Chains A and B, each alone.
Chain A
C-alpha cells in the first residue's frame, strides 16, 4: 500500500490536461463577463429604486411601494429563522408589535426619540423570542409553529384587554395615536412619504446584505445543515439548537425594527394592526411563495403578492375583508404543487439563461 491518494471510480484516470486548461480558461472568461453583467444589472436596479420617488410623485403609489419594501424587509427578517433554519414561525407579528409599542410608548410618555426606542424594542423582541424559542426550537415539525401562533395570539389578547402595563399606557383595543407635532429626522416623523421610502429602502438593503453575509458564514452553513438533516449536522459538530436560537434572535431583533418603522409611518397602532395573525400569515405566505431560504425569494414574493393584497383590499375590502389571504392560499397551493421551492427558482433559472446568453453575445462580439 502506498501513500498516494486512492483512485476514484477507476473509469477515467487519464486527465486530458490541455483540454481541461482550455476549458477552464474560457469558462473563467465567461464567468468574469457574467459577474460584470450581474454587477451592472444590480447597479441599474439600485439607481432605479433610488430615483423612483423623483418619477412617482403620487402619495398613494408611494404608499403601496413603501408597503412592498416593508413586507420584503419583514419577510427577509423572517427568512433568517423561517428559511435557513428550516422551522416555520407563524407568529412573527408579535415581534413587530413589540417594536411598534416599545418605541411608541417611549416617545409618547418619555419623549425618547423613536430611533432609540427602535433598538430598545429590538432587544425586548429578542428576549420575547428567547422565551418561545429556547424551549421549542429543539422540537421538530409543527410544535414550533404552534407555539409561535399561541404566543402571538396570547400577547394580542392581552394587549387588547389592558389599559396599562405597569406604568406604560397601552390603551387596550383603541391603540395609540402618535400626534404629528414634531416633524423631522430626529423624531422619525415626516409629512411626505419620500423620507419613509428611503428609510425602508435602506433598512431593506441592510437586511438583504446581512442575509447574504449570514448565508455565506459558518452560521449559515450550520443553519442549512441543521435544517436539512439535524442528526448528520450534529455528528459534524453542529450544535443545531444553538444555531437556531441565534438565528431566531437575529430575526426577532430585525422584525422589531420594522415595528417602529410601521408605527412612525402610520402614526397609529392598535393590536389588530400590529400583532394580528393576518400579518404573521402574510409574511409566511410571501416567504413560501417567493421561496424560503433564498435571498431573492422574500423580495420577489413581496413584489408579486403585495399588489394582490392592496388591490383586493381596494376592491373587496367592504364585502370580503381578508380576501387577499384566500387568494394567497390558492396561489400557495399552486406554487407548492408546481414549484415547491418557490417562485425564485424558475425566475432565477430564467435570469441565469438571459445572463448566459448576454455573456455569450459579449464574448462572441469581442472575438470578431
Chain B
C-alpha cells in the first residue's frame, strides 16, 4: 500500500492556481524527488502535505487516512516530519536543546527525550556539537540540525525542502549519503531539490512540476531525457533537437 497519495490536489491563492490537480503516490521506503523551475508550485504542494494550509480541492492521503486540513503538530504525531528551506533553528539554544524539542513528540519525560536526542545526534555523527549554540553553526550544520530535529520525532515520512541549497559540493555529497542512510532506516522520503546532480543520484523516481501541473514522472534517466522537462527548464527553442 502507498504511504502517501495525492489525489487531484489543487491549491488556489485568490485567482492564482499554485498547484493544479496534482496526483502522485509514494510507496513505503521510497525516495521521491520533486523538481521544477522556480515558482512551479513545489513548495506549495509540500506545504499542503505538511499541513501548513489545506488544499483547495483534492485529497491528501497518508497511510490510508485523509489528512486534509490537519494541523502540522497533529501530522507530526502521525509520523510526518519536515525541514524548512530557510532553516529555523531555535537560535538561542544549543543543538541538543533543539533536537530535544523534537524528541518530546514521542515522550514527556525530559531525561528520556534528551537520551533520544543524543541517540539521533550520534546517528548523524553530530553529537560532538551537541552543546554548540545553534546560531553559531555553519549553514551545512544548520541543515543537518533541521534533519536531526525532524528525525527525533520518529517520522515514517520525511519531507525535505531543499536541504542541499547553499551547500558546497563536498557537503552535498555528504547530505546525499545522510538521506540514503535514513532510507535504510525505513523512512520514506520526499525531496524537493534544485541541485540536479544530487536529486538524480538520490531519487528512485522523480516528479516534475511546471506551472502547478505534473509534466513528467519516472526514473531519473527517463525524466532527464523527457522533452517537456527540457522545454520547461531551457525554453521552447531548445525542446526540439
Known: A3-B184, A6-B181. A228 touches B92 (CB 8 A): yes
Cβ of B150: which chain A residues have Cβ within 8 Å of it?
A: 235-236
Contacts of A233 in B (CB 8 A): 90, 101
Query: Which A-chain residue is minimally distant from B97 (CB atoms)?
Result: A221
- Answer whether residue A231 sits at the interface, using C-beta atoms and an 8 A cutoff: yes
Q: Are A5 and B124 in contact (CB under 8 A)?
A: yes
Residue A285 at the B interface, CB < 8 A?
no
Interface-centre pick from B81, B90, B177, B184 (highest chain A CB count, 10 A): B90
**Which residues 225-245 of A have a CB within 8 angstroms of B?**
225, 228-229, 231-240
A1 and B110 contact, Cβ closer than 8 Å, known pairs A225-B90, A235-B72: no
Give 1 or 0 for each of B144-164: 1 = CB within 8 Å of chain A CB: 000001101100000000000
Within 269-308 of A, Cβ neighbours of B (below 8 Å) are at none
- Of the candidates B101, B123, B153, the one whose C-beta lies within 8 Å of that of A222 is B101
- Alpha-carbon distance between A216 and B92 when the two chains are bound, in angstroms: 16
Interface residues of B in 157-192 (CB under 8 A from A): 170, 174, 177-178, 180-181, 184
Q: Is B104 an interface residue (CB 8 A)?
A: yes
Interchain CB contact under 8 A, B73 and A225: no
Contact of A232 among B90, B140, B152 (CB under 8 A): B90
Partner of B73 from the list A1, A5, A217, A238 (CB cut-off 8 Å) is A238
A25 at the interface (CB under 8 A from B): no
Within 8 A of A (CB), among B48-78: 50, 52, 71-73, 76-77
Report the Cα distance A222→B102, complex, angstroms.
Answer: 9
Contact across chains for A231 and B153 when beta carbons are under 8 A apart: no
CA distance A152 to B149 in the complex (A): 40
Given contacts A5-B123, A5-B125, A225-B90, contact A235 B84 (CB under 8 A): yes
Provide the residues of chain B in CB contact with A236, threshold 8 Å. 73, 76, 81, 101-102, 105, 149-150, 152-153
CB of A39 closer than 8 Å to a CB of B? no
Cα separation A222 to B50 with both chains bound (whole Å): 19
B210 adjacent to chain A (CB < 8 Å): no
Cβ contact of B124, chosen from A6, A224, A229, A238, cutoff 8 A: A6
Indicate if A7 sits at the interface (CB-CB under 8 A).
yes
Chain B residue, CB-CB nearest to A233: B101
A237 is contacted by which of B77, B140, B170 (Cβ under 8 Å)?
B77
Residue of B91, B123, B125, B149 ringed by the most chain A CB atoms within 10 A: B125
**Contact of A10 with B by CB under 8 A:** yes
Nearest A-chain residue to B182, judged by Cβ: A6
* CB-based contact A229/B88 at 8 Å: yes
Give Cα A229–Cα B88 distance, bound, in whole angstroms. Answer: 6
C-alpha gap A239/B72 in the complex (Å): 9
Chain A residues with Cβ below 8 Å from B124 are 5-6, 8
- Which residues from chain A contact B84 at a C-beta distance below 8 Å? 231-232, 235
| Contact residues in A for B81 (Cβ distance below 8 Å) | 235-236
Chain A residues within 8 Å of B140, by CB: 9
Can you name 12 A-B residue pairings with CB atoms under 8 Å?
A: A6-B181, A8-B124, A8-B128, A218-B108, A221-B101, A221-B113, A222-B101, A229-B88, A234-B76, A235-B50, A235-B72, A239-B71
Known interface pairs A231-B88, A236-B102, A237-B104; 4 further A-B residue pairs with C-beta atoms within 8 A, sorted by A's residue number: A218-B104, A228-B92, A234-B73, A236-B105
| 10 residue pairs, one from A and one from B, having the closest CB atoms | A237-B105, A237-B76, A8-B125, A232-B88, A229-B88, A234-B72, A228-B90, A225-B101, A236-B102, A239-B73
